[in-house]
Amino acid sequence: MAVLYLLVMLVKLPVSAAARNLTISLQDKKISELKPEGLTLSFYSAIKNNSDRNYVLASYSYRVLVNSQNFFEQQVSPEEQVTIPARQVVSLHFPVKISYQYLTAVLPEGRKQASCLVTGDMYFRSEKNKMDKVPFTFSMDFPIFEFPEITFLPLAVKDLTLGGAEFTFSFQLKNPNPYDLLIKDLRVKLHLGDRPIYEGSLQGDKALEPGGIRTFKLPLMLDFFEMGRELRDNLERELVPFVLKAEVGADSAWGWLAFNLEKSDTVKKEKVR
């Protein structure tokens, strides 16, 4: 989606027949992207054409307010032509990216949530090449999300020989947020040094209460003859290097949250029977 500062935005057009012939309604809203630096709020709207003529969405302008304070304004022209045929409905995805670093001016210190209000106008071109506008308003509350913390536990080594190893890699997830994270999907990739040694989905209870910690265990057996001596050399170190990557999907008070985690660290070994 390209950002263009269009001359047409400078003209105050009346809310005319287009506002009666075209209606904009909000069908759904959700958090579609979570990153440590911020999130994306996705508004899914429907543009309904109640007339017998076709319209083209030429552009739209909007203003974003967070906690009733101006956050930013934008003027946008679609990269591809969006036509609203007569007597039909067209869906439009309206993403709003929120960067946490810019929230400090509008968010009290320690606040864990905020409200977002989006107001603007969509500009439509009729078959007679006349430009009309239709106003829209979307709103949504969102969290200041803190990513779960990963902690590696000591490596429980049952057997380590020239030909292979049997051990259990364990890690913990801690939820620093003031609401439950009911993890439904947890897919992990584990590297020993630079070599992948495990990939799969973890089963069982994975729910994290506010401030809660849950431990996960990966029992593993490695064949050095097939997988390489490099793995044995790493396991023979006093501190063993691991990299864990996780794809997480969780239900929460804010709806479905999907995000990625990654941790690289070394762990001590413990001999077990």
Does a structural domain hold residue 7? no
Which residue range is the domain that position 16 belongs to?
12-143
Consecutive 10-residue runs of the chain (273 residues): their mean pLDDT? Answer: 28 48 95 94 95 94 95 92 94 93 84 94 92 94 96 97 95 97 97 96 94 97 91 96 98 96 98 89
pLDDT attached to residue 11: 32
Distances (CA, A) of 137 to 7, 25, 63, 183: 23, 9, 10, 32
Asked if residue 33 and residue 114 are part of one domain, the reply reads yes
pLDDT tens column, 124-158: 999 889 888 999 999 999 999 999 999 999 999 99
Q: What stretches of 67-180 adopt beta strand conformation (E)?
A: 69-77, 82-84, 89-99, 113-126, 131-143, 149-152, 155-160, 164-174
What's the number of domains the chain is made of?
2
pLDDT attached to residue 17: 53
The residues, ordered by sequence, that sit 6+ positions from 55 with a Cβ below 8 Å of its Cβ are 18, 21, 22, 49, 83, 84, 124, 125, 126, 127
User: How confident is the prediction for the chain on average, in pLDDT?
Assistant: 90
Structure token digits, residue 69: 């304070």
Structure token digits, residue 264: 């690289």
pLDDT tens column, 194-205: 999 999 999 989
Tell which of 116, 143, 170 closes a domain. 143
Nearest to 35 by CA among 81, 118, 101, 117: 101
Please give the model's pTM, rounded to 2 decimal places: 0.84
Asked if residue 217 and residue 264 are part of one domain, the reply reads yes
Checking DSSP bridges between strand 89-99 and strand 38-49, what pairing results, if any?
antiparallel
Asked if residue 156 and residue 112 are part of one domain, the reply reads no
